[in-house]
Chains A and B, each alone.
Chain A
Amino acid sequence: MNKEKLKVDPIKNGTVIDHIIAGKALQVAEILNIGNSDNEIMLGLNLLSRKMGKKDIIKIENREITKQEANSIALISPTATLIIINEYKVIKKFGIVIPKKIKNHIVCPNSNCITNIEQVKTKFELAGNNPIEVRCFYCEKKYYIEEVKFSF
């Protein structure tokens, strides 16, 4: 029997976000704003994974994650997979796509960038996939995703 399954109960209807990079689940939860919802939520942190060594997992009862929400997750954990569950059955399973353009969600780490000085929404473009890098549309500096902060 799979030990992972023993640790987190199955859900009847909703979304399972699996293969989240270990330690990132709380950030993903923040993006999805699930702390303020009434849905039943299960969070698994640092679970053993054959694929990843360690991983986090989130199960959300009665909520289907939208594509836009999934793309936001991709920035933090591109490894994540989404599983939509209906009556305990997997009805959809998909990997998430890192968006090519990211508006408004990344704070530019360059303190001399105009986005940190004037009231202007940030725009970033995907500049590398492995590892993930993003480039500020304004100051043109490039950063690893781990170097940036998010604002949702």
Chain B
Amino acid sequence: MKNLISMRDVNTQDILKLIDLAEKIETKKCKPDMSGKLAALLFFEPSTRTHFSFETAVKKLGGNSFSMSGTGSTSVKKGETLSDTLMTISMYADIIVMRHVIEGSARFASEIVNIPVINAGDGTNQHPSQAMLDLYSIKKTQNTLSNLTVGMVGDLRLGRTVHSLAQALSDFNPTFYFASPKHLQMPKYIKDDLDERNIKYEEIEDIKEVMSELDIMYVTRIQKERFAVLEDYEKVKDSYIITKKLLEGVKSNFKVLHPLPRVNEITKEVDDTEFAYYFQQARNGVFMRQAIITEILKLKY
């Protein structure tokens, strides 16, 4: 694996290898060494969790990093092209972790620089390190990735994490329920991918109907920043709220996942139930990102 740009490039073998490595790192069965290497964490679009998670992963591996968050203090603001910014940064660093609002920007970056690139989110397209940490979380809670019933709830049209995760789980014979307002449904191009691979999925408007069947419920935020008109956001923001009452009668292995940050889509009372797993999921992100960097930089361990 030279870069991590899209889950479309990642095969089952890669997925299982990264999960195995994340597990070894978490259980301290191995300690990869990134000393002497420098990571450029380029968050052209600001992020808290993914940024800090990568920064933590680099530090835990013994490497160094420098960061940008937003473009306010950079030459991008002076009109520098993305390719010039990336070429310059690639002269300093050993690996680029990059988030950008433009779709395909990470793929483009990987073509023009001669150091590895990890896509930390490109517009509404892909967020593969999130998909990998989601898979790791699912594996940890279910002890398998195969034959699971997964409900995805919320903004499935614009939320890139659900796109990457749906593709990633497709290797493991899942059954999906996609619960979203009609205009925020899973995009056709993702559903076409699932159809091609004969993956069972159903689009529903109310997740209540299928709660007792689910192994995993993956909740996403209705993202305000993706709406051009604020009124459109106000109309749908409360549509899909997960409460403690909704969780009555779920399977014992059931878990709620969320890429975070949440606004109001999971009520605070759910946090105290055995089903809430989103904070552990965020913790898993550090181990998975350590594994991804280790694999891509071919670190010794």
Q: Which of A114, A118, A142 contacts B189 (CB 8 A)?
A: A142
What are the residues of chain B within 8 A of A120 when measuring CB–CB? Answer: 108, 111
Q: Which of A112, A114, A127, A141 contacts B108 (CB 8 A)?
A: A114
Task: Please judge, given known A-B contacts A114-B108, A118-B82, whether A140 and B125 are in contact too, CB under 8 Å.
Answer: yes
* Interface residue count on the A side (C-beta < 8 Å): 20
Distance to closest chain A CB from B113 (angstroms): 13
Q: Is B101 an interface residue (CB 8 A)?
A: yes
Interface size class of B (residues with CB under 8 A): 20 to 34
- Most chain A beta-carbon contacts within 10 A, residue among B101, B103, B188: B103
Task: Please judge, given known A-B contacts A114-B108, A135-B189, whether A141 and B81 are in contact too, CB under 8 Å.
Answer: no
In the complex, which residue of chain A has the Cβ closest to the Cβ of B104?
Answer: A138
Interface string of A107-120 (1 = CB under 8 A from B): 00010111101111
What are the residues of chain B within 8 A of A43 when measuring CB–CB? Answer: none
Q: Which of A119, A128, A133, A139 contacts B103 (CB 8 A)?
A: A139
Task: Please judge, given known A-B contacts A112-B102, A114-B102, A117-B102, whether A137 and B107 are in contact too, CB under 8 Å.
Answer: yes
Which residues 25-80 of B have a CB within 8 angstroms of A?
none
Q: Is A84 an interface residue (CB 8 A)?
A: no
Q: Is B20 an interface residue (CB 8 A)?
A: no
Q: A120-B108, A139-B104, A142-B189 are in contact. List 6 more A-B contacts (CB 8 A).
A: A112-B101, A113-B103, A114-B107, A115-B104, A118-B108, A142-B192
Interface of A toward B, CB cutoff 8 Å: 110, 112-115, 117-120, 127-128, 133, 135-142
Among all A-B residue pairs, the 9 with the closest Cβ atoms: A138-B104, A139-B103, A142-B189, A114-B104, A139-B104, A114-B108, A114-B105, A138-B107, A114-B102
